[in-house]
Amino acid sequence: MSDRPPQATILKILLAIGFCGFAGGILIAHSRPATGYELSLYQSTPLAAWVGLVAAGILGLVASFVPVASRGVRTLGYALTTSAVMAVFALPIIRGYFYYGAGDSMTHLGWARELEAATGSAFGFIYPAVHSLAVYLSVLSGFELTYTLQFVPLVVFPLMSVVFMTFCVQYLTDSRWAVPVGLATGLLLVPINNLSIHLMAHPSSQAVLFLPFILYLVFRFVNEQSDRFAFATPTGLALAIGCLTLVFIHPQEAMSLALLLGAIAVVQFSYRRFRPTDRIAHHRPIYAHALLTFLVFATWLPQHDRPLDRIAFVLEQFQAIGATTGGEAEAQTASLAALGGSIEELFVKLMGVTLIIGLAAAVLIGLNLLGWLENKHPDRSALVIYLTAGLVPISAVFLVVFIADQGDHYFRFMGFLMVSVTILGASAIAAAASRASLSFSRNAVVWGVILLFGGMLVMQTLAVHPSPYYYQSNNQVTESSMDGYEVAFEHRNEETAFTAVRDGPRRFVDAYYGRPTARESMDFPGYRTGVNETAFNEDLASFYDSDQYLAIREANRKNEIELYEELRFSQSGFDRLEAESNIYRLQDNGDFTLYLLRNEE
């Protein structure tokens, strides 16, 4: 009799090791909290923590995919893989960051603070859902708003996306590969491109991660066997609520949803009219939900000036044939070259996995258009047709916004598109693995899929947080830098303008005063004014004709000197702040320094 333990026992032992590695990784990372600004979240997290989390992720993948695993063991494998990857998403919380998100997220913090203080109304701004949820959790739990406004985007919405992405893939294939492939693909968070969709407080990003939940309800609703009114069934009502919720998470993504549902409605109407015997003709029509989404979007949007101005500007720029389209990309390409990088390198790091999933989705769409799925799996073919049709109008809007040269806003539409593409790509991979199992050794296919997803998960988790890995600064906001700005604002001379490195102090102004107050009811001097780069590096002391406050964070020094290698702001410029006779240091808490540039003429 063999002394080797059976494979099931080995799997249980490996799972136990994996859970110990996960727990150890979390404890080690948490026991080494950030004590100041960190240039890289990844490098500052202890190596032992990474060893534990990586081991947990690998062992979880193995238990999720190997065919000998029992249902219970496989479920534990799913839980372990999800926990390990989610821990990477939540590292800013685990490492004790005061706040995560130095750009738009600071503005959203200011909005949420106004809601919390009841000085602002949820109906007073365009997308109140994420802020309201963070405020509610803060009141309920007693945690600071700076914590809950990290927890919501780093944990709540990613976990929701992963779970319902898995359910969507399961709906598109009855293969045994559906759940593990769907889960692993969901954990890739492909829509998070870090170009305009981010893993931080950013309602457009949260709306994109909410979409899998809506698509899952769409799949269930159209397959319901019921003659009741669309909103009269539990699924129909849940879908209606989900569509309404997306409007208040972010109207731009709700517009994309209205286009997606409208495309599905057109497909259903066409099949009922021209192919009444087809499976789609017998699906429950989505008309009511498409109309509801459009009507609520069209009613909510005109109550706010900002999106109307944006739409008008996009149309104006589009009519100008995008005279400056690509200008921002060219500038960034030049900066990359100066730092020793390239656009090709950046594409591989940020879009390599997206390309793999996109190619898999393209194969499935192509096979479906050729009738391969329709002949064998008409129910799945119908859902693939719905997702394919939904890509068309959103792709058209993507092109309009791209030609109109609206910064990186077109990447928001790309993020929305990638939700459907990810579902299709995962379904294609699951179908390919199932088919390959008929021709090759099952173990060979299993290990091939494990290696594929292991490699893709490594690539994605390396890029899920901004870092020097792809020439971006960490989005950490330290408590001392926030305190420094608050003291400066409280004791400032209201006639003296502020300036700061790059885009000025506006994000901290938003966070302190609240965005509506900062941008609408007060005229903050120097709100959006960055310090002149040439003067900073050569002769800042005599550049300004009036007194100026200059705010410098430790993050500015590290990013400009270490990350960007003095590309725009030099070390000598920072040193000169302490040497010039008419530059006075007013505040310094070690992480924030406030200077007064005195005009002494």
Range of the domain at 580: 478-597
| Two structure tokens written together for 158 | 């990613």
Please tell me whether residues 190 and 332 are part of one structural domain: yes
Q: What residue type is 170 in one-letter code?
A: Q
Which pLDDT does position 517 carry in this prediction?
A: 82
Q: How far apart are CA 209 and CA 207, in angstroms?
A: 5
Does position 322 have pLDDT exceeding 70, yes or no? Answer: no
As a whole-number percent, the residues of the chain with pLDDT over 90 amount to: 72
The answer to whether residue 220 sits within a structural domain is yes
Does position 315 have pLDDT exceeding 50, yes or no? Answer: no
Does position 406 have pLDDT exceeding 80, yes or no? Answer: no
Q: How far apart are CA 559 and CA 567, in angstroms?
A: 10
Q: How far apart are CA 93 and CA 97, in angstroms?
A: 6
Which pLDDT does position 122 carry in this prediction?
A: 76
Which pLDDT does position 334 carry in this prediction?
A: 62
Which pLDDT does position 175 carry in this prediction?
A: 84
The answer to whether residue 176 sits within a structural domain is yes
The answer to whether residue 136 sits within a structural domain is yes
The residue whose two tokens read 């309201």 is 132
Which pLDDT does position 1 carry in this prediction?
A: 43
Please tell me whether residues 102 and 225 are part of one structural domain: yes
Q: Contact, 352 vs 463, CB < 8 A? A: no
Q: What is the pLDDT of residues 17-52, one digit of tens each?
A: 999 999 999 999 999 999 999 999 999 999 999 999
The answer to whether residue 395 sits within a structural domain is yes
Which one, of 285, 257, 268, lies nearest residue 393 by Cα? 257
Instruction: Please state the length of the chain.
Output: 601
- If pLDDT is split at 50, 70 and 90, which confidence band does 323 have? very low
Residue finishing a domain among 439, 461, 496: 439
Which one, of 113, 582, 178, lies nearest residue 380 by Cα? 178
- If pLDDT is split at 50, 70 and 90, which confidence band does 347 have? confident
* Residues 6+ positions from 367 with CB-CB distance below 8 Å: 373
Lowest average pLDDT, out of 66-80, 177-191, 298-312, 522-536, goes to: 298-312
Which of the listed ranges 158-162, 498-502, 512-516, 596-600 does the model predict with the highest average pLDDT? 158-162
Please tell me whether residues 435 and 532 are part of one structural domain: no
Please tell me whether residues 363 and 482 are part of one structural domain: no
Does position 267 have pLDDT exceeding 90, yes or no? Answer: yes
Does position 318 have pLDDT exceeding 60, yes or no? Answer: no
Q: What is the pLDDT of residues 520-566, one digit of tens each?
A: 778 899 998 999 999 999 989 889 989 999 999 999 999 999 999 99
Q: What is the pLDDT of residues 430-467, one digit of tens each?
A: 999 999 988 888 889 999 999 999 999 999 999 999 99
Which pLDDT does position 405 carry in this prediction?
A: 65
Please tell me whether residues 195 and 126 are part of one structural domain: yes
Q: How far apart are CA 579 and CA 563, in angstroms?
A: 24
- If pLDDT is split at 50, 70 and 90, which confidence band does 403 have? confident
Please tell me whether residues 422 and 522 are part of one structural domain: no
**Residue 521 DSSP one-character state:** I
The answer to whether residue 165 sits within a structural domain is yes
Quote the number of domains for the chain. Answer: 2
Which pLDDT does position 6 carry in this prediction?
A: 78
Please tell me whether residues 433 and 527 are part of one structural domain: no
The answer to whether residue 384 sits within a structural domain is yes
- If pLDDT is split at 50, 70 and 90, which confidence band does 310 have? low
Please tell me whether residues 429 and 322 are part of one structural domain: yes
The answer to whether residue 37 sits within a structural domain is no
142: region left, alpha or beta (phi > 0 left; psi from -120 to 50 alpha)? left
Does position 2 have pLDDT exceeding 50, yes or no? Answer: no
- If pLDDT is split at 50, 70 and 90, which confidence band does 327 have? low
Q: Is 379 exposed, middle or buried (0-12, 13-18, 19+ CB in 10 A)?
A: middle
The answer to whether residue 239 sits within a structural domain is yes
Please tell me whether residues 423 and 494 are part of one structural domain: no
Q: How far apart are CA 72 and CA 63, in angstroms?
A: 10
CA distances to 129, 138, 249, 501, 601 from 543, in Å:
44, 45, 44, 15, 11
Does position 383 have pLDDT exceeding 80, yes or no? Answer: yes
Residue finishing a domain among 408, 439, 470: 439
Helix H segments across 154-284? 157-172, 178-187, 203-222, 234-249, 251-274
Please tell me whether residues 373 and 433 are part of one structural domain: yes
Residue finishing a domain among 387, 412, 439: 439
Q: What residue type is 574 in one-letter code?
A: F
Please tell me whether residues 401 and 541 are part of one structural domain: no
Please tell me whether residues 435 and 482 are part of one structural domain: no
Which pLDDT does position 313 carry in this prediction?
A: 47
Q: How far apart are CA 186 and CA 81, in angstroms?
A: 11
Which pLDDT does position 3 carry in this prediction?
A: 47
Higher-pLDDT residue of 114 and 8 is 114
Which pLDDT does position 304 carry in this prediction?
A: 57
> DSSP 3-state assignment of 551?
strand
Average pLDDT, the chain: 90
